[in-house]
């Protein structure tokens, strides 16, 4: 039977390729440095069984998503992720589960070039907390508070796909693999975020639903907005669903898409088009910031249904 230290060494002590990280897993703390003209950007997100994933979710999907949701937060600041810690609470030392979890996490960490530098393992109900650290040039981070009257409002990718997949699963309908992918393997916008520095006046990642997350920007920036539900970027799956249900609450309030919602001065329209083309990411203008202090959604009569954590 492995103890905690053997477990960590076996599954999570990967070679580090970032020379600015002096010490990773295996001491009381990790040790690294950042460039003198940079600031550190930090975020933490927990995934908990029954809330963020189903009881029978694949360990590899859980690992990927735990990292992806944190990468999304760093991207939403316009920053680049650098390293992360993992705190893993497990009901038992299940080596098959751990092997799949750690292999997927390692693969994702290599793909996104972000180093695992420390962690903790604990016995208890399954709970995965990742704290991620990134860097951004001083005073360049994109906050929620910078939206200005007259700014355009944009969103990347499509909205509602993860919510549609979840809805199908809850109703006992098997989603197809592309739909499942949207829920289990969301693509954090790690290139788009940094590309929006000096372009976006504010930015947030759409994790709890556009309506709720855009409201965070409005409150932090002390502004209002009009968006038009006709302009929401939708996949064919979601368009099909809307034809029969007219349930605009799904793309407006559904969570887990991990797209970026950002605001930008109208003069940046061409520049944003270029970014969209060069990164091959759909970017759609969905509305305009105003001084109303409220969020008006044209063509939507429903109430707020965005994700509530409690």
Count Cβ neighbours within 10 Å for each residue of 141-153 and write b for 16 or more, e otherwise.
Answer: bbbbebbeeebbb
**Interaction residues for its own copies, span 111-170 (CB under 8 A):** 117-125, 127, 129, 131-134, 136, 138, 141, 143-145
Smallest gap from residue 24 Cβ to its own copies (A): 10
Nearer to its own copies among residue 136 and residue 190 (C-beta): 136
Is 29 among the residues that bind its own copies (CB under 8 A)? yes
20 labelled binding-site residue: no
Is 180 among the residues that bind its own copies (CB under 8 A)? no
**Interaction residues for its own copies, span 204-233 (CB under 8 A):** 204-205, 216, 220
In the list 13, 18, 38, 103, the residue contacting its own copies (rule: CB under 8 A) is: 38
Which of 262, 224, 263, 231 has its CA nearest to residue 248?
231
Give residue 176's Cα distance to chain centre.
22
Measured at the CA of 163, the angle between CA 162 and CA 169, to 5 degrees, comes to: 90
**Interaction residues for its own copies, span 244-303 (CB under 8 A):** none
Which of 122, 116, 123 has its CA nearest to residue 11?
116
In the list 11, 12, 16, 45, the residue contacting its own copies (rule: CB under 8 A) is: 45
- Our CA dihedral for 141, 146, 152, 154, rounded to 10 degrees, sits at 40
Identify the H or E element spanning 142. none
Residue 242 vs residues 209, 246, 252, 260, 300: alpha-carbon distances, Å: 17, 5, 12, 22, 13
Smallest gap from residue 267 Cβ to its own copies (A): 25
Is 66 among the residues that bind its own copies (CB under 8 A)? no
Query: How many residues at the interface with its own copies, by CB under 8 A?
Result: 76
Q: Which stretch binds its own copies (CB under 8 A): 85-93, 151-159, 238-246, 278-286?
A: 85-93
Residue ranges of the binding site for Mg(2+): 28, 43-45, 73, 120, 205, 208
């Amino acid at each position: 039977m492995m103890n905690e230290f053997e477990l960590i060494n076996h599954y999570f002590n990967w070679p580090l390729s970032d020379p600015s990280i002096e010490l990773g897993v295996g001491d009381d703390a990790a040790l690294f440095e950042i460039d003198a003209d940079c600031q550190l950007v930090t975020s933490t997100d927990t995934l908990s069984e029954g809330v963020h994933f189903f009881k029978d979710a694949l360990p590899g999907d859980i690992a990927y998503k735990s990292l992806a949701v944190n990468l999304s937060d760093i991207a939403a600041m316009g920053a680049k992720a650098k390293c992360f810690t993992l705190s893993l609470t497990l009901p038992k030392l299940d080596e098959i589960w751990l092997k799949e979890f750690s292999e997927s996490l390692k693969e994702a960490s290599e793909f996104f070039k972000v180093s695992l530098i420390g962690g903790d393992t604990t016995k208890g109900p399954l709970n995965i907390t990742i704290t991620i650290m990134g860097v951004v040039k001083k005073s360049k981070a994109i906050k929620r508070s910078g939206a200005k009257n007259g700014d355009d409002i944009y969103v990347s990718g499509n909205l509602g796909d993860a919510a549609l997949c979840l809805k199908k699963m809850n109703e006992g309908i098997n989603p197809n693999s592309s739909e499942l992918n949207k829920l289990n393997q969301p693509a954090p916008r790690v290139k788009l975020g940094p590309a929006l520095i000096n372009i976006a006046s504010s930015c947030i990642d759409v994790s709890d639903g556009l309506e709720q997350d855009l409201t965070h920007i409005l409150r932090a920036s002390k502004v209002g907005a009009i968006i038009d539900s006709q302009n929401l970027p939708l996949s064919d799956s979601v368009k099909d669903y809307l034809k029969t249900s007219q349930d605009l609450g799904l793309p407006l309030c559904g969570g887990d898409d991990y797209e970026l919602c950002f605001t930008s001065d109208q003069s940046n329209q061409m520049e944003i088009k270029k970014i969209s083309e060069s990164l091959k990411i759909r970017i759609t203008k969905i509305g305009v910031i105003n001084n109303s202090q409220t969020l008006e959604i044209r063509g939507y009569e429903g109430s707020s249904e965005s994700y509530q954590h409690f």
